[in-house]
């Protein structure tokens, strides 16, 4: 097994652990902002999975998918933060 294959497995397992911890925080979070941060981190973990998939398969278009996913996740987090603070989206 090469170093690259070992690194891919370690990163994949690490992201799975992060995913499980985020899902736990989403389910049991004491407040809405805690859940919001966990959802944001879950989006970042999804981008990590896409990047690992890109590294394994060599398909360059997956990088575009990861970038779009990251931007949409960021915009969604901003919109949810505005909603939780009690402001309108155009404020």
The two three-digit tokens of residue 90, written as one number = 């155009």
Query: Residue 27's pLDDT band (boundaries 50, 70, 90)?
Result: very high
Averaged pLDDT score across all residues of the chain:
90
Alpha-helical runs (H) found in 1-91:
3-28, 32-57, 61-84
Residue 89 predicted with pLDDT over 70: no
For the chain, the structural domain boundaries read 3-84
Q: Which of 42-46, 53-57, 63-67, 76-80 has the lowest mean pLDDT?
A: 76-80
pLDDT given for residue 82 in this prediction? 85
Q: What is the DSSP string of 43-61?
A: HHHHHHHHHHHHHHH--TH
**Percent of the chain at pLDDT exceeding 90:** 65
pLDDT given for residue 2 in this prediction? 93
């Amino acid at each position: 097994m090469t170093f690259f294959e070992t690194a891919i497995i370690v990163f994949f397992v690490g992201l799975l652990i992060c995913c499980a911890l985020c899902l736990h925080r989403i389910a049991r979070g004491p407040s809405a902002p805690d859940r919001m941060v966990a959802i944001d981190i879950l989006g970042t973990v999804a981008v990590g999975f896409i990047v690992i998939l890109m590294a394994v398969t060599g398909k360059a278009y997956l990088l575009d998918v990861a970038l779009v996913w990251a931007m949409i996740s960021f915009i969604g987090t901003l919109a949810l933060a505005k909603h939780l603070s009690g402001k309108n989206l155009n404020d």
